[in-house]
Structure 1
Amino acid sequence: MSLSGWVCLITGASRGIGKGIALQLCEAGATVYITGRQEKTLKETAAQVSERGGKCVPVICDSTSGEDIEKLFARIRGEQNNRLDLLVNNAYAGVQAIFDNEGKKFWETEPSLWDTINNTGLRGHYFFAVHAARMMVAQGRGLIVTISSMGGLRYLFNVPYGVGKAACDRMAIDMGIELRSRGVASVSLWPGPVNTELISQFMEDGAQQNVESKYTDLFANGETTEFSGLCIVNLAKDKNLMSLTGKILMTCDLARRYGIQDVDGRSITDFTSLKFLLTQVPYVSWLSSLVPSFIRMPRFLLPLASNHF
């Protein structure tokens, strides 16, 4: 119960990564507000939390609605005596659209794909962060975690996806600069490939129809939906948290930092290890068996892979 007494808010927590984060935070003793647009799935998540002995408050909230967001924060202030310790910006509405438009170039899709992917997963994150920061700055402490991905560094899925994730990373970093002196931390978190309900269903449907997807190998050994939550629990209680503010953190890095494994007992794939990187290069993948797993690519080299100057 390391987070006993904490008040947390997770957006888009009715399923997927958000749900997994909610389960882990509640297990750690926090009171967790979860948002989503569907009452049924929110209540299902709350029920699972209760089964684990946690305290969860499901709230119907559209992350694209400024009015809904304002009402939610007014409720938290009233019910929790103006206390909010942690915000996880996770809500995302673009997964189905990404797979529906797999293989299409940006000019072959409807321009509204941009709104589907980024209204909830970028604009909404900013709105939530503004309201959360006002509460956290007033109390002199807090943590804002923005869920992002490697798509912020290199091309992945499509144009709106990459632009949105790059913006999420920049937002988390710049918020960290402005919040540092107020005792509030802001980080961007990159999970590895995660086997969410939608991803698993997509893979199952493709297998039944004998449709080969380029994402099959990517998600074959994916993280569980709860591992990001386990990382956030450990991050929240890190005594040196402020040394990490304004940074992009990877779940594989946090697994090593805190000595943790996934909730199903599996070790997390380190996507920056030389051993893994060699497996991705044709004709030299055999060398991976000869390379120790502890040899990793220095973090400062990651941006060079996409340097356009």
Structure 2
Amino acid sequence: MALAGKVALVTGATRGIGKGIALQLATAGATVYITGRTLQSREGAPAPGSLNETEKEVENRGGRCIAVACDHSRDSDIDSLFDQINREQNGRLDILVNNAYSAVDAIMQNSGKPFWTLPPTFWDEVNNVGLRNHYICAVKASQMMVARKSGLIVNISSMGGLLYLFTPAYGVGKTACDRMAADCAIELKKQNVAFVSLWPGPVQTELVKKNILEPMRQNQDRAGQSDSNVAEHREQSRTTAVHRMFEQGETPEFAGKCIVALAQDAGLMKKTGRVLTTADLGQEYSLCDVDGRSYSGTRSLKYILQIVGWTKASEYVPSFIAIPKFVYNAYYGRF
């Protein structure tokens, strides 16, 4: 097994991307600690999944997983988590994946509302676990990794770090996650510890299916049964584009396959401090998703044409033709 003997920590692994990453790391042979607030599933819970369910699925695949109930908004819980890993693994931690995020429902419920209409506490709701906690975990993991002169830290971020997405508090947090990786990497490089920021593409998580895909299908069904004016048609077109984007989205495990490949890369330190995308890593490492699909990514001209509805035109465009990164930087540049 590629990661046999390695110890990993994936925060926020009750469901979604965190669960998918934990499954892949464990399948590759790592001992994986997983965290979240929901240890056991309960009837009527606002979201599916639990740490025990993730642990059981890992074990069914032959992997080793240790579930730790942890509220990442509480510093004392984080302290106890790292004390436990330090004690049980004799100071060893090879991989940290900062994925915990507690604001998905809050963002979905408030998306489209001007930031000045939301209470200032909305900032804390979005960025306490999704940013501050990442820094604290990075500090504690680095202390263990530097002592061994080896390690990989991954912040799960998104394109929201480059362009407007959902709400300002979200974008600021993701931009900060990317900058955290870049700046911490400078200080960790001489210690042979890598720190990167990883942007998955659109991912078909349980909450995305619940909050985006299912409502959009219902709206499309209603729209097809009634006449619509121009404004409604435009909104329907925008909704259809978002729907296509997630319909073609990655499974939650693809990011995990990318991290497994990164952890084995002999040239990992050349990537430290960078923003990496799952699509680019998938192409570099020749990875397919668990359902056999491969991805050309959001820079792919073919992908962009498909999302905006120009499916016929996309048939004549090779998958390898992509918008250069410098064009993105120039278009979204701030200077």
Q: Does TM, normalized by the shorter one, top 0.5?
A: yes
Deviation at 1:297, TM superposition (A): 2.1
1:237-252 equivalence runs, <5 A: 237-252=264-279
1:263 paired to 2:276: no
In structure 1, what residue type is equivalent to 2:287? I
**Offset from partner CA, 1:163-204 (integer Å, 9 cap, x none):** 100000000111111100100000000000001101111122
Provide the rounded CA distance (Å) in 2 between the counterparts of 1:65 and 1:173: 26
Provide the rounded CA distance (Å) in 2 between the counterparts of 1:66 and 1:160: 22
Deviation at 1:205, TM superposition (A): 4.0
**Offset from partner CA, 1:37-58 (integer Å, 9 cap, x none):** 1111111110111100110000
1:296 — aligned with what? 322
SS of corresponding position for 1:104: coil
Provide the rounded CA distance (Å) in 2 between the counterparts of 1:198 and 1:286: 31
Provide the rounded CA distance (Å) in 2 between the counterparts of 1:200 and 1:278: 23
**Offset from partner CA, 1:243-263 (integer Å, 9 cap, x none):** 100100000000001101111
SS of corresponding position for 1:162: helix
Question: Which runs of no fewer than 5 residues in structure 2 stay unpaired?
Answer: 41-49, 224-235
SS of corresponding position for 1:157: coil
**Offset from partner CA, 1:216-246 (integer Å, 9 cap, x none):** 2321111000000011001100111011001
1:306 — aligned with what? 332
In structure 1, what residue type is equivalent to 2:333? N
SS of corresponding position for 2:276: strand
1:155 equivalent among 158, 164, 186: 164
1:276 paired to 2:303: yes
Deviation at 1:281, TM superposition (A): 6.2
Distance 1:155 1:128, change over 3 A: same
Distance 1:6 1:286, change over 3 A: same
2:257 equivalent among 197, 217, 230: 230
The alignment-based identity, stated in percent, is 55
Provide the rounded CA distance (Å) in 2 between the counterparts of 1:280 and 1:266: 17
**Length-normalised TM-score, structure 1:** 0.95
SS of corresponding position for 2:96: strand
2:36 — aligned with what? 36
2:106 equivalent among 97, 101, 125: 97
In structure 2, what residue type is equivalent to 1:226? E
Distance 1:280 1:55, change over 3 A: closer
In structure 2, what residue type is equivalent to 1:263? V
Aligned-residue CA RMSD in angstroms? 1.8
Provide the rounded CA distance (Å) in 1 between the counterparts of 2:308 and 2:38: 43
Provide the rounded CA distance (Å) in 2 between the counterparts of 1:290 and 1:263: 27
| More displaced stretch, 196-205 vs 288-297 | 288-297
Distance 1:216 1:278, change over 3 A: closer
Provide the rounded CA distance (Å) in 1 between the counterparts of 2:322 and 2:311: 16
Provide the rounded CA distance (Å) in 1 between the counterparts of 2:215 and 2:25: 32
| Higher alpha-carbon Rg | 2
CA contact (8 A) 2:296 2:320 kept: no
1:139 equivalent among 143, 148, 158: 148
Deviation at 1:268, TM superposition (A): 1.6
2:189 — aligned with what? 180
Provide the rounded CA distance (Å) in 2 between the counterparts of 1:180 and 1:247: 12
1:53 — aligned with what? 62
1:219 paired to 2:246: yes
1:187-226 equivalence runs, <5 A: 187-202=196-211, 203-208=213-218, 210=222, 214=239, 215-226=242-253
Deviation at 1:18, TM superposition (A): 0.3
2:226 — aligned with what? none
Question: Across the two proteins, how many residue pairs are aligned to each other?
Answer: 308
Provide the rounded CA distance (Å) in 1 between the counterparts of 2:269 and 2:306: 35
Provide the rounded CA distance (Å) in 1 between the counterparts of 2:180 and 2:13: 21
2:132 — aligned with what? 123
**Offset from partner CA, 1:49-69 (integer Å, 9 cap, x none):** 110011000001111111111
Distance 1:169 1:6, change over 3 A: same
Provide the rounded CA distance (Å) in 2 between the counterparts of 1:293 and 1:221: 14
**Offset from partner CA, 1:89-143 (integer Å, 9 cap, x none):** 0000111111111321112223222111111100000000000000000100000
Distance 1:206 1:270, change over 3 A: closer
**Length-normalised TM-score, structure 2:** 0.88
